[in-house]
Amino acid sequence: MATQLRTPPGTPSREPLQGLSRQGLQPRGEVHWNLIPPELVEHAIRRGEGQLAAMGPFVAVTTPHTGRSPKDKFVVRSGASAADVEWGPVNRPMTVEHFETLAGDVRAYLDAAPDLFVEDVYAGAEPAHRLGVRYVTPNAWHALFVRNMFIRPTTTDLPTFNETYTVLHAPELHAEPDRHGTASGTFIVISFEHRTILIGGTRYAGELKKAMFTVLNYLMPKKGVLSMHCSANVGRAGDTALFFGLSGTGKTTLSADPERALVGDDEHGWSDVGIFNFEGGCYAKVINLSAEGEPDIYHTTEMFGTVLENVVLDPLTRAVRFADQSITENTRASYPLSYIRNHLPGGRAGHAKHVVFLTADAFGVLPPIARLTPEQAMYYFLSGYTAKVAGTERGVTEPKATFSACFGAVFLVWPATKYATMLGERLRRHGSHVWLVNTGWSGGPFGVGKRIPLAQTRAMVRALLSGALDNVATTRHPVFGLDVPNEIPGVPPGVLRPRESWTDVAAYDRQATQLAGMFRSNFERFRSRVDRSVTDSGPRA
C-alpha cells in the first residue's frame, strides 16, 4: 500500500473561511482547495485525465474541441451592463431566466462530482485593479492550467481570499439549446450582474482564460484602464514596448527578446500608473516549435508543471512531436511566467514608449515597417489587419484578409471605438511611438514571394526599440500613406520598398489597390464613430 503524505500540524489552511457557500454549491464529493502543481498532477494522473511527457510536462487532449467556440459565447442581458455592451455576433444576449436555469444545472453537475478542484487566483498585477477570481472545476489538470495562467495568492492570503468573480466549469455537461437558450451543447456564458461565468460542453482550456479576459475588457475601461490584447516587454533603461497582433503574426516570438524582460505575452492593462499584466502565465502555440527558433518557449515544454494541450507524443519515448498536426494545428503550452528566464517579476512596467502593430500580410503589399501618426494608429488599431494564406480548398488561390478590431474583436464588450479612443489618448499623453511591422510576404503574395526572414524582422524591431528610427529619413507609401524608413542596418533596401521587390510592378499596384479597398470597406462601420482625421488617415484610392 502506497504511503500517503500528510499535512504537518500547524500548516496554514489553503481553504477560505466561507467555503463554497457563496457559489451556491453543496458538493457531495471531496473538495480540493488551492492544490499546488505536484498535487494537481498526482490527481490528474490518478483520475486518468492525461499523461506525462518526457521531461515531466502534463499532456491533455481536448477533442473534439481543440480551440475556442466563439459562436457559443453569451452575455446575460440584464441590469446596468445591458446599456454598455455592444450586442451582436460577438456578444450574443442570453436572458436571465435561461442563465438561472443553466446555472442551476451546472451547480447540480458540480455537486455530484466525485472531486472538485478550487483555485483562488488574481487577475491583474496592479493591486489597485486586481480582481479575485474563484475557479471551480471537476478536473485536476484544468485547475493546474488556471494556476499556471493567473496570479497566485500567497499562502497567507488564502484564508481571507475574497473573490469578485466565480467561474463554474462543467466540461462534460452539455447544454440543451431549447432549455438553456444556447446555440449548441457548448456554452460560455458571462453574467456581469451575477459576477459569474459558466463554461461547459468543452474541455479546451483556453475558454477558462479568455472568458476572464472578456470580463476584464468590460470592467477595466469602467475604471479608466485600457484593456489590451497584446504582449509587453521592457528594456534595461525602463522603456516599455507593446506588441499587438493576431495569431501567426509573431506577437509572442518578437516580445521574447533576450535583451528585454518579458512583462507578459497576451493580456495587459494600461492605467494611469503604467502597463500591467492581467495574467501570471503564458499560453503559447507550439506547433513546429524548435529549440533553435524559440529556445525560451521550448525550454518550458521540458519542465514539470507545464500543461501541453493536444500535442502528439512518440509512443516509445513520450517525446513531443511538435510538427505533428494530427490532432490539431492549435497545439498549446501553458506555463507560469516565471518559467521564462528573462521575465519581469511583478508584471508591472512604465508607460509604453513604443507600440508595435504586427501583421502578416500574405498579399505581399505592405512595407515591413512603417511609422504611424496618432490618427493612423487609431485607424490601424481599429482595423486589426492580417492576412491568412490560401487554404487547401479547391479554387482558393488568393490570401484571405482578416480584420479584427483592436486585434481582439472576439473579446471586446464595449464598442471598439471606446478602446481605440482610450489608446489614442494615451499615445498622445505619453508621446508613444507607434509602428506597423509586417511579418508577412515580400516580392509577391503567398505562393510567389517569400516570407520576410525573422532575422530581418528582429533587426527592424530592435532598431525601433533602440530609438535609432525616431528621426530617420522616410518615404511615404503612395497608397497606404505610411512613412517607411529609407534604410535600416541589417535589412536590404529592397525589402523596405515592397513594390521594388516585385518583378511585375503592375501586379503589385493592382494588389495594393485591392487591399486598400478591403481596408476602406471594413472601416465603413467605424466612419460615423471616429473623427474624420482618423478616417482620412487610411489607404487612398
Residues 6+ apart with CB under 8 A from 14: 33, 34, 35, 155, 158
Nearest 10 degrees: Cα torsion 211, 214, 220, 221 = -170
Question: Burial level of 426, CB count in 10 A (0-12/13-18/19+)?
Answer: middle
- Identified catalytic residue from 169, 203, 251, 477: 251
Residues found in the chain:
541
Please state, in angstroms and rounded to a whole number, the distance separating the CA atoms of residues 251 and 486.
25
SS3 (DSSP) at 128? helix
Q: Which three cell numbers stand for residue 457?
A: 524582422
d(CA 417, CA 80): 20
| Active-site option among 120, 257, 266, 296 | 266
Q: What is the 3-state secondary structure (H, E, C) of 228-260?
A: EEEEEEECCCCCEEEEECCCCCCHHHHHCCCCC
- Residue 326 is among the residues annotated as catalytic for this protein: no
CA 62, CA 203: separation in Å to the nearest integer?
Answer: 5
Three-state DSSP class for residue 301: coil
Q: Would residue 247 show up in a list of annotated catalytic residues for this protein?
A: yes
83: left (phi over 0), alpha (psi -120 to 50) or beta: alpha
Residues 6+ apart with CB under 8 A from 353: 239, 240, 241, 430, 432, 433
Full DSSP string of 467-508: TTTTT--EEE-TTT--EEES-BTTB-HHHHSHHHH-S-HHHH
397 is catalytic: no
Q: Which listed residue (229, 268, 351, 354) is catalytic?
A: 229
Per annotation, catalytic residue among 92, 260, 332, 343: 332
From the list 14, 68, 107, 268, the catalytic residue is 68
Catalytic entry in 13, 63, 247, 503: 247
Q: Which of 191, 252, 359, 383 is catalytic?
A: 252
State yes or no: is 229 an active-site residue.
Answer: yes
CA distances from 310 to 211, 268, 282, 322 (A): 20, 27, 16, 10
Catalytic residue among 32, 209, 210, 477: 210
210 is catalytic: yes
The answer to whether 134 is a known catalytic residue is no
Q: In sequence order, what are the beta bridge partners of 52?
A: 58
The x, y and z cell numbers of residue 257, run together, are: 527578446
List, by residue number, the catalytic residues.
Answer: 68, 210, 229, 247, 251-252, 266, 332
